[in-house]
């Protein structure tokens, strides 16, 4: 009698395991649908292949730099003017020099003219992202990598990118 009860319990356990395994795929689909996991993007949500991007067009890029009065640095673009194209990576270089006999720390702040162009210039790499510390007499070149969005208004055919370099309070000149 005890063997019959044990046999029934084991058969019930096997049936429950089989049923659970059989229901696992539909339960997973329901769980994904409810929670948003592994969601397949609906075809109408994909961008329309016929929607065209604005064409790539030339843009004149003028580069400039200035230093806070009293800061013993020189900052200059290696190429002050170039022809760029919207939608393409642009690689530039700036040279910075500490002309003093002291260590200095500075921060570059970019400015765009016309100001409206700032929304369409995406910098990927720039010395302005962090403070720059220089030993006395040190000279370094910094890359700037940017992209001008193809959505740039047609009225803007020239952009000036100017950096202003300032002393970092409390970290500037070493005694």
Q: What is the DSSP annotation of 1-44?
A: -HHHHHHHHHHHHHHHHHHHHHHHHHHHHHHHHHH-TTPPPPGG
46 found inside a domain: no
115 found inside a domain: yes
Tens of pLDDT, residues 157-166: 999 999 999 9
Over range 142-147, report the average pLDDT: 94
CATH number of the domain enclosing 112: 2.60.370.10
Three-class secondary structure of residue 55 per DSSP: coil
Domain shared by 69 and 113, yes or no: yes
Domain shared by 81 and 161, yes or no: yes
Nearest Cα neighbor of 78 from 87, 69, 91, 67 is 91
Does 84 have pLDDT greater than 80? yes
Tens of pLDDT, residues 18-74: 888 777 777 777 776 776 665 544 333 444 445 567 788 999 999 999 998 888 889
DSSP one-letter code for 119:
G
CB atoms within 10 A of CB 163: 24
174 found inside a domain: no
In which domain, by residue range, is 32 found? 2-41
């Amino acid at each position: 009698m005890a063997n019959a009860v044990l046999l029934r319990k084991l058969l019930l356990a096997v049936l429950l395991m089989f049923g659970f395994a059989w229901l696992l795929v539909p339960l997973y689909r329901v769980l994904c649908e409810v929670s948003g996991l592994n969601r397949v993007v609906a075809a109408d949500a994909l961008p329309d292949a016929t929607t065209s991007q604005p064409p790539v067009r030339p843009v004149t890029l003028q580069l400039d730099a200035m230093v806070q009065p009293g800061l013993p640095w020189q900052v200059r673009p290696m190429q002050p003017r170039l022809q760029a194209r919207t939608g393409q990576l642009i690689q530039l270089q700036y040279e910075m020099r500490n002309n003093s006999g002291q260590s200095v720390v500075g921060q570059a702040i970019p400015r765009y003219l016309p100001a409206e162009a700032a929304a369409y210039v995406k910098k990927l790499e720039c010395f302005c992202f962090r403070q720059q510390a220089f030993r006395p007499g040190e000279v370094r070149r910094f890359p700037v990598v940017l992209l001008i969005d193809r959505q740039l208004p047609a009225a803007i055919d020239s952009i000036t990118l100017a950096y202003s370099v300032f002393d970092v309070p409390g970290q500037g000149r070493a005694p």
